[in-house]
Amino acid sequence: MSAALDTLKLSSAQIAWRAAQDMEDGAYVNLGIGFPEMIAKFQPEGRDVVYHTENGVLGFGEAPAAGEEDWDLINAGKKAITLKPGAAFFHHADSFAMVRGGHLDLAVLGAYQVAENGDLANWSTGKGGVPAVGGAMDLVHGAKRVAVVTDHVTRKGEPKLLKRCALPLTGLGCVTRVYTSLAVIDVEDGRFVLRERLPQLSFEDLQSVTGAELKIHGDVADLAVPEL
């Protein structure tokens, strides 16, 4: 099964593409560092999205060309960025007022585990080492929608979508939608509700690599993503 899944599953870029299709025109969006940042590359044409970064910028654009970096102008991942017309700077307390105060429309994060009740674990593997939380525990509170982009299973093939998270939590009941390498799943009333699945994959096969029951309310659409 897992070998078959590896050939079927979406690449990270394809997961990011799918997540990007749900960014509304006029949305204020925070993309978590790492994988979620890729979503910006697939922002649908004709939609205006204003990106927020925790370190105090609204309205930033792509990375500058090599050699053109200004190290006073970085994002939360410490990467150099550029500004779009209408950008704004602000200090850290204002930045997190935007986060916790409900002013962001969407935050997209990575995940180690997501539970059917919306709990998210994405900051600590619980194995010791140096703990580092950054802004993750703040970002899961306040944004109107908190989405996750992730592989459907771990590298070992174990489910990442579970009845309850086993790893240290980032936030309780915070995730509203999960974009995985196999499916799009909403969290509603403490249950995973399947919205889209890869057409090549049967419901039973998808359920077998998911650690909690997948509910079906209404139609399940095909998860259709271009080759990228």
Partner 1 sequence: MNKTIAFASEAVAGIGDGTTVMIGGFGGSGAPIELIHALIDAGPKNLTIINNNAGNGHVGLAALIEQGMVAKMICSFPRSADPKVFTDLYLAGKIELEIVPQGTLAERIRAGGAGIPAFYTPTSYGTELAEGKLVAEFEGRHYVQERWLKADFALIKAELGDPLGNLTYRMAARNFNPLMATAATRTVAQVTRIVAAGEIDPEQVVTPGIFIDGIVEVPDPEQEESLNREGAVYP
* Identity of the residue, 95 or 150, whose beta carbon is nearer to partner 1 in the bound complex: 95
Residue 121's alpha-carbon distances to 70, 160, 164, in angstroms, are 34, 10, 10
Catalytic, 158? Answer no
Q: Residue numbers of the site for partner 1 (CB under 8 A)?
A: 53-57, 69-74, 78, 89-93, 95-96, 99-100, 119, 129-138, 141-142, 168-172
Residue 60 C-beta: closest distance to partner 1, Å: 9
* Identity of the residue, 117 or 180, whose beta carbon is nearer to partner 1 in the bound complex: 117
Residue 88's alpha-carbon distances to 13, 50, 82, in angstroms, are 29, 11, 12
* Identity of the residue, 136 or 225, whose beta carbon is nearer to partner 1 in the bound complex: 136
For 119, the 3-state DSSP assignment is: coil
Residue whose structure tokens are 């299709």: 21
Secondary structure E strands in 7-122: 27-31, 49-53, 57-60, 83-89, 106-109, 113-115, 120-121
Report the distance separating Cα 49 and Cα 8, nearest Å.
Answer: 31
* Identity of the residue, 169 or 198, whose beta carbon is nearer to partner 1 in the bound complex: 169
Report the distance separating Cα 150 and Cα 137, nearest Å.
Answer: 18
Task: Show the tokens assigned to 150.
Answer: 């992730």
Q: Which of 54, 68, 196, 227 is catalytic?
A: 54
Which residues form the catalytic set? 54
